[in-house]
Each structure stands twice: as C-alpha cells, then as structure tokens.
Amino acid sequence: MQSRRNKDEAEHRIDEAIRLTAPGTALRHALDMIIAGHMGALICVGDEDKVIKAGNDGFPLNISFTANRLFELSKMDGAIVVDGRLNQILRANYHLNPDPALPTGETGMRHRTAARMSLLTDALVISVSERRQVIHIFVDGKGIQLKTVQELMGSVNQLVVAMQSTRQTLDMRLRRLTTLELENQVTLADLTEIFYLFEVLTTAGEDLGQIILQLGSEGRTVQMQQEEFLGDLDDEYTLMIRDYASDSSEENAASIRRALDDTANSQVHKSANIARLLGYDDISEDTVMTPLGLRTLSNVSVVREGMADKIVDEYGSLQDLIDVIDENPERLEETGVRNPSILADSLYRMWGKHA
C-alpha cells in the first residue's frame, strides 16, 4: 500500500509538471520562444528556498513573472529561479551547485545539473538544450522530453484508430454476452475475452489521457474523442466484475479493477488469471459462469439507480429472475419495480425472444 501511495504521489508530481509546461500556459510560451531563439536555459520552479541555498551569485530580482521576461532573462548564463505559483522571478544568472555525488544518467552539463537539482529539491527543473533544441523537465531525478503539438498529434491519430476499433469490438461482444447470460451459457473463456478488451481500451484511454495532458489547451477536441470512446466504460466494467466475482461487493470489485490494471494485458488474456482474480480455483475456460445480472439490469430503462442491487439481492441471479418472470412478472412489484411487464419485455428483447 505504501509503495502504491508513493507511486501515485510521484505520478501526480509529474502530471503537475506536465500541466505547468503544456501548450497554452505562460511557461510553455516562454519555452517555445527560447527554442525559437535557438537558446538554452535552466529554470527552477518551486521549492525556492532550497534552490537558492544550492547556488550563489546571480541577480536577485523579485519581479512579476511573464513569459517575455523569462525569455529575455534566458539570454544570460546561469539558472533562473521562479516561485512555485509562477508569480515571481526571484533570481537570474544564478549559479547552481548541487551535490555532484547525486546519481544521474544525464550527459550534458545542463541536464546533469537539472537532474541533480530535482533530486536535491522538490522543484520542477526545466532544461532547454541549445544544441539539440529540445526541452526536458525533471522531477525527482526523472527527465521527460516535451514533445511538440505536431509530434503528439501523430500519436493521437494512432490511438484514436485503435480505440475506435476496440470499442466497436467490445460493444459487439457485450451484446453477445447479454444474450449468453439470458441463456445461461456464459463461459470463463467468454469473460476472459471481454475483460481483455476492457483492459486494452482502458490502457489506450490512459495513454490518450497522458497525451491530452501534454497538449494542454490544444487537447480539447482530443478529450472529446476520448470521452466518446470511454463513455460509461467504468460503470459497465465494474458491474461486470461484480456479476461474476465470488465476492460481489463494490469494495472487492474495486480491488479486482486495481489488480487488472496492474496486470499486463497479455496476462489478462489468460483464463486462469481471470479465474484467480475473480476468486475461483480449479475451473477451466469451458466452465459455465452464472451472472448476478447487475450489468444487464442496469441497461434496462425502468430499472432505477440502485434497483438492480435490490432485485439481485431478492432473486439471487439473472437466471432466477428470468424464471420468476416466466412464472409471474407481477411478483417484481414486491421489490419496487414499478413496471414489471416493461422490464420483462426489455429482457426478452435483449434475449431476442417474445414474452
């Protein structure tokens, strides 16, 4: 748990660094001007007290931060120190002297200094290479090269095509799953294929989310595409896990989701791994899996929020519910279903049969 928390905190710091330097921000505007001017720069943002203690000389400024001022000050040697809120430029032409014993795999002088300063302090350290004309940001010693909008959009196009294809396949498989559920013919192999598609789409969505973060103000249209492909993915995924897990609680479903996220997609494609995560031992891919019916019921318009759980609690499984509907659908009124005949008709239509 502690390692996951530390990982989450590190990822949050990197995401925040990317957000501060994304297109559309004043800081990125300054960096783009530095690149266009064929200059180099070393900029420390935040944790200013520690940063200043790690250097000397330079010019105390304490002037308001603007992109143009940062660009002009980059014409001088040495580092520029900016406060964490990007309100003030505190120092210019500042000579940083981080401990040379701090480990780094960087080669250039400016990049080595930036990496070590990010280890020594909690600052976001930005290094602009004059020779290569690229921007690197450093957080906790980790360096990330910022890509241009054109480079990012190339990756976007590839991901969008992949997500569109995967979503279409997933929707088709989910429709087929509903039919199999109503016929009580779902196997572990069927579930494994769908879990795999969920994970592939989720992974692609996360990758696209990282690119959207890097695109900043240029990523609004891409974000709309991401939302279109992901839609209600999270809710449907969680309900499907609850349908088939040995423990159907929301807490256990969340735990399984985390485990799936931490599992390589190639391993998710193995039925034995899915069985283990769902809480079953010694079952084969041909084993018939009986669903609770939460996902299917939640797709019926007359089933209000929270009602699917009440129906499942009352009848135990989707197949038991179908048996009740066959005998006497009006019994569903006892669990609060206002229009049991409509629910019955909806399930029969999903099944491809008539009541």
Query: Taking residues 77-81, what's their average pLDDT?
Result: 93
Q: What is the pLDDT of residue 334?
A: 65
Residue 289 counted as domain residue: no
Is the pTM higher than 0.85? no
**What is the domain count for the chain?**
3
Q: What is the pLDDT of residue 10?
A: 80
Domain boundary among 86, 119, 146: 146
Residues 225 and 162 in one domain: yes
pLDDT band at 302 (very low <50, low <70, confident <90, very high): low
The CA dihedral of 235, 237, 238, 243, to the nearest 10 degrees, is 120
pLDDT band at 344 (very low <50, low <70, confident <90, very high): low
Domain boundary among 234, 253, 278: 278
Residues 274 and 301 in one domain: no
Residue 96 counted as domain residue: yes
Query: Taking residues 304-326, what's their average pLDDT?
Result: 74
Q: Which amino acid is at 35?
A: I
Q: Which domain holds residue 197?
A: 150-278
Looking at the chain, the whole-number percentage of residues with pLDDT higher than 70 is 89
CATH at 271:
1.20.1260.110
Q: What is the pLDDT of residue 8?
A: 73
Query: Taking residues 256-278, what's their average pLDDT?
Result: 94
Tell me the per-residue pLDDT of 130-146, one tens digit each, with 9 for 90 and over. Answer: 888 899 999 999 999 99
E-assigned strands of 129-270? 135-139, 142-146
pLDDT band at 183 (very low <50, low <70, confident <90, very high): confident
| The pair of three-digit structure tokens given for residue 164, joined into one six-digit string | 């569109």
Question: 217-225 long-range CB contacts below 8 Å, 24 or more apart?
Answer: 217/22, 217/23, 217/24, 217/25, 218/23, 218/24, 218/149, 218/152, 219/22, 222/156, 222/160, 225/160
CATH at 100:
3.40.1700.10
Tell me the per-residue pLDDT of 225-264, one tens digit each, with 9 for 90 and over. Answer: 999 899 888 899 999 999 999 999 999 999 999 999 999 9
Residues 138 and 33 in one domain: yes
> pLDDT at residue 353 above 60?
no
Domain boundary among 244, 278, 312: 278
Q: What is the pLDDT of residue 340?
A: 63
Residues 193 and 101 in one domain: no
Residue 286 counted as domain residue: no
Residues 114 and 56 in one domain: yes
Residue 102 CA neighbour count, 13 Å, CB half: 18
Residue 175 counted as domain residue: yes
pLDDT band at 355 (very low <50, low <70, confident <90, very high): very low
81, containing H or E segment: strand 79-82
Looking at per-residue pLDDT, the higher value among 190 and 108 belongs to 190
Average pLDDT, the chain: 88
> pLDDT at residue 208 above 50?
yes
283 within 8 A of 232, measured Cβ to Cβ:
no
Residue 284 counted as domain residue: no
Looking at the chain, the whole-number percentage of residues with pLDDT higher than 90 is 66
Residue 98: CB atoms within 10 Å: 21
120, containing H or E segment: helix 109-120
Residues 128 and 14 in one domain: yes
Residues 120 and 239 in one domain: no
Residues 142 and 266 in one domain: no
Q: What is the pLDDT of residue 88?
A: 96
Query: Taking residues 47-52, what's their average pLDDT?
Result: 93
Residues 116 and 218 in one domain: no
121 within 8 A of 113, measured Cβ to Cβ:
no
Query: Taking residues 187-192, what's their average pLDDT?
Result: 96
> pLDDT at residue 352 above 50?
yes
pLDDT band at 105 (very low <50, low <70, confident <90, very high): confident
Residue 51 counted as domain residue: yes
Q: What is the pLDDT of residue 313?
A: 79
Residue 283 counted as domain residue: no
Query: Using CA atoms, how far apart are residues 21 and 15, in angstroms rounded to an integer?
Result: 10
Residues 135 and 6 in one domain: yes
Residues 262 and 303 in one domain: no
Segment among 10-19, 68-77, 151-160, 322-331 with least mean pLDDT: 322-331
Residue 287 counted as domain residue: no
Residues 6 and 122 in one domain: yes
